[in-house]
Structure 1
C-alpha cells in the first residue's frame, strides 16, 4: 500500500499497488487503480474521476464538474449553479 517512487523531487511521487495510488508530476496528480481514481489538472480543484461511482470532470473552477455514466450526471460550466444533466432521470 505504501509503495512510493519519487521522481524529480520530494513532492513528486508515483504510488502503485494501493487504493491511494497517485502519480504526481510537476504539481499535477494522477491517481490510478483505485476507487478514488483522480486526474487533477490545471489546479488543485480541477479533477477528472474515472472508474468510480462518482465519475466527474471538473474544469475551469473548483465547482465546475462534468459527471458522466451515473444517474445524477451533471455538466456544470462557467458557474456554480449552471448545470446540464444528461443520461439521467433527474
Structure 2
C-alpha cells in the first residue's frame, strides 16, 4: 500500500496492491471524511479500478463485504476511544 496524497485530514488517497509498478491488481482507494450539520462525520470509501473487469473481480472476491467489516471495526474502535475519553463525574 502506498499513500499517494494526504492534502488534508479530510481525505486519504492510497494505491492499494503490491509495491511494484506492474502489479495487475493495483487500484486506488480514496477515503473522505465529511462533517455534517449535526456534527457527525460521514466516511466514504471509494475504490477506483483501472478496468471494469478488475472492478468486477474485486467485487466478486468480496471486497464490499470486507470493506463493511473494516468500517464496522473502525466504528467500534472509535466508540471505545470516545467512551474512554468521556469524563464521568465521581
Structures share fold, TM-score greater than 0.5: no
- TM-score, normalised to structure 1, is 0.31
Greater percentage in strand: 2
Greater percentage in helix: 2
Q: Rg larger in 1 or in 2?
A: 2
